[in-house]
């Protein structure tokens, strides 16, 4: 069917052509398009909430330079019902399950994943935050997270007080326009509220439960984290910039 042709007229013309050629129209089943991959991530349909469910331990990390096989051991029953091809966010990076053996799951990491995220720094004994993909009807207590990491950031300051921890991150300044005070950002998969910001820097405040439940218990100054900016904020900022540019403002 040609683009721009009304379906009814196009179908009628096609049937007349077929009758003239003594042919019958043939219905062809279309194959679904393959899932688009980005940063080693499958499934643009995967959805996460930024509520980290716990940490998993790195059992093995076999890196051959431009490809790696990561095996993680999860807490008991975490993988119940999981299937090959399912999505799991590991340090905020959406990965596809390629093997399952009890409480251990394997994931393949391509070169872009190793470049764009902190997963390439893992070694046996390390821990990662994990979150299984959300299901329809699940409570979204954080914010919508895709598992597509935008950048890495480095912890440059960390200050503990009696009831919380202030953590300051440094990242490429081009991302600063999307990270706004009181806005959302996913840090190693954790949905966090932004505190203060400045070009190339921002901070968050962590409550004890967040520290206990996540890899932030092991992070210190110099540690790297994965950053996913909030998609609606990015869309709004980019749209405003484009409109202003079109109007020469």
The answer to the question of residue 167 being in a domain is yes
Of 141, 119, 138, nearest in space to 128 by CA:
119
The pLDDT tens digits of the residues spanning 70-80 come to 999 999 999 99
Query: In this structure, is the dihedral angle defined by the CA atoms of residues 115, 116, 119 and 123, taken in order, positive or negative?
Result: positive
**pLDDT, mean over the chain:** 84
- List the domain range (segments joined by +) for residue 159: 151-240
The pLDDT tens digits of the residues spanning 182-220 come to 999 999 999 999 999 999 999 999 999 999 999 999 999
Task: Give the CATH number, domain containing residue 225.
Answer: 2.40.30.20
pLDDT value at residue 46: 62
The answer to the question of residue 80 being in a domain is no
pLDDT value at residue 45: 54
The answer to the question of residue 181 being in a domain is yes
CB contact at 8 A, 194 and 181 = yes
The answer to the question of residue 69 being in a domain is no
- Distance CA(206)–CA(48), nearest Å, equals 20
The answer to the question of residue 134 being in a domain is no
CB contact at 8 A, 147 and 82 = no
The answer to the question of residue 194 being in a domain is yes
Instruction: Count CA atoms within 13 Å of residue 109 on its CB side.
Output: 30
- Distance CA(197)–CA(175), nearest Å, equals 11
pLDDT value at residue 188: 98
CB contact at 8 A, 190 and 207 = no
The answer to the question of residue 203 being in a domain is yes
The answer to the question of residue 70 being in a domain is no
- Distance CA(157)–CA(203), nearest Å, equals 9
The pLDDT tens digits of the residues spanning 90-108 come to 999 999 999 999 999 999 9
Task: Provide the number of structural domains found in the chain.
Answer: 1
pLDDT value at residue 238: 95
Given a cut of 50, the residues of the chain with pLDDT beneath it are 1-44
Would you say the pTM of this structure is higher than 0.75? yes
Compute CA distances 125 → 148, 194, 218, whole Å: 25, 30, 12
Specify the DSSP element, H or E, that contains 242: helix 231-246
Specify the DSSP element, H or E, that contains 71: strand 67-73
């Amino acid at each position: 069917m040609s683009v721009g042709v009304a379906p009814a007229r196009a179908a009628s013309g096609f049937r007349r052509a077929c009758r003239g050629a003594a042919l019958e129209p043939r219905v062809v089943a279309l194959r679904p398009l393959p899932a688009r991959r980005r940063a080693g991530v499958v499934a643009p349909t995967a959805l996460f909430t930024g509520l980290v469910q716990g940490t998993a331990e790195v059992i093995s990390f076999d890196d051959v330079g431009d490809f790696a096989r990561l095996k993680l051991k999860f807490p008991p029953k975490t993988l119940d019902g999981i299937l090959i091809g399912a999505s799991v966010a590991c340090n905020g990076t959406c990965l596809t399950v390629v093997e399952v053996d009890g409480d251990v799951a394997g994931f393949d990491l391509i070169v872009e994943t190793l470049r764009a995220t902190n997963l390439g720094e893992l070694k046996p004994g390390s821990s990662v935050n994990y979150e299984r993909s959300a299901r329809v009807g699940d409570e979204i207590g954080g914010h919508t997270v895709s598992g597509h990491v935008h950048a890495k950031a480095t912890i440059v300051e960390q200050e503990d007080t009696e009831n919380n921890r202030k953590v300051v991150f440094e990242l490429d300044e081009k991302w600063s326009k999307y990270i706004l005070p009181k806005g959302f950002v996913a840090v190693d998969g954790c949905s966090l509220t932004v505190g203060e910001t400045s070009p190339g820097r921002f901070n968050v405040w962590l409550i004890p439960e967040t520290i206990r439940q996540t890899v932030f218990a092991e992070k210190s100054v110099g540690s790297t984290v994965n950053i996913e900016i909030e998609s609606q904020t990015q869309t709004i900022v980019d749209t405003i910039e484009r409109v202003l540019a079109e109007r020469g403002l």
